[in-house]
Structure 1
Amino acid sequence: MLSVAALLGSPKTSSGQVAPALGAASSFALFTAVGAVENSGPTIINGDIGTNAGAFNGFPLGVVNGNIHVADAYATQAATDVQTAYGYMSTIPCVTPVAVYGGTPAVTMGPGSYCVGGASTLAGTLILDGGGDPNAKFFLRVTGALTTGENSLVLTQNGATPSNVYWQIGGQVTLGRNSVMRGTLLVNGAINMIAGASLIGRGLSREGAITIDTNTASLPSFVVAPVVTSTVWLGNRTTDWFTATNWSAGVPSSTLDAGIPSNTSPYPLIAAGNAAANNLTIGTGASLTQSGGTLDLKGNLSNSGTISATAGTMSLSNGTATQILGGSGITQLWSLTIANANGAIQSGAVRIHGVLAPASGNLSTNGQTLTLLSDAAGTALVNNNGTGVVNGTATVQRYIASTNSGLGYRHYSAPVSGSTVGDLATAGFTPEISQGSVYNTSATPGFTTPFPTVFAYDQSRLATVTNNYSAFDKGFVVPASLASPLAVGRGYAVNISASPLVDFVGQLTNGNQSLNLSRNAAASANAADAGWQLVGNPYPAPLDYSLVAEGDRTGLDAAISVYASSGPYAGQYRAYLPPWVPTLASATPCCRLPRVSLPTSAAARLRPRSPSATASA
Structure 2
Amino acid sequence: MKISLSLMKSAMYALTCISLFILAQSSSSAQTAPNLGTAKAYGAFSGAGAIESTGLTVVVGNIGTHVGAFTGFPPGVYTGEKHVADAATLKAKDDLTTAYNSMNDATNAAIYDTVLGATMGNGQVLTPRTYSRGDLTTVSGNLTFDAQGNPDAVFIIKIGAALNVSKFTKMLLAGGAKATNIYWAVGGAVSVLDSSVFKGTILSDGAIHFYGGSTLEGSALAMAGAVTLAGNTVSGPLGFGPPDSLIVVTPAMRDSLRVGQQNYQITWRGTGVAVKKVFEYSIDSGATWRMIDTLSTIGFSRSWTVPDAPSTKALVRITDANGLRGVSGLFTIAPIPNIKVINPIAGAQIFGGTQNYQITWSGSGIADLKTFEYSLDSGATWTLIGGVSDTARSYSWNVPDTVSNKAMVRITDANNLRGVSKVFSIVSNSVVGSITIVRPSRGEALIGGTQDYFITWTGSGIAPMKTIALSLDSGLTWTTISEIVTDAFIYAWDVPDTNASRALVRITDSKGVTATSGLFRITSSVPLPGSITIFHPLAGEQIMGGYVDYPVVFTAINTTSRKTFEYSLDGGATWVFIATENVDGQIYAWALVPNVTTTQALLRITDSLGVTGTSEMFSIVATAATGSIDRLTLSGFDSGSNIDNNRVLTIDWTYTPEIGTSVNVEYSLDYTATWNHIATVQTVDIQRTTWITPMGGFYNPVFIRVTSSLGMTRASQPFSIGTVTSVASEASALGYSVSNSPNPASSQTVFHVVLPTASNVTLSIIDQRGINVGTVVDNHFNAGTYDIPFTTSMLASGVYTYVLSANGVRVAGRLVTTK
Judge same fold: TM > 0.5, yes or no.
no
After TM superposition, the score normalised by the length of structure 1 is: 0.34
Between 1 and 2, higher relative CO (CA 8 Å, sep ≥ 6) is seen in 1
After TM superposition, the score normalised by the length of structure 2 is: 0.26
Q: Give the structure with the higher percent strand.
A: 2
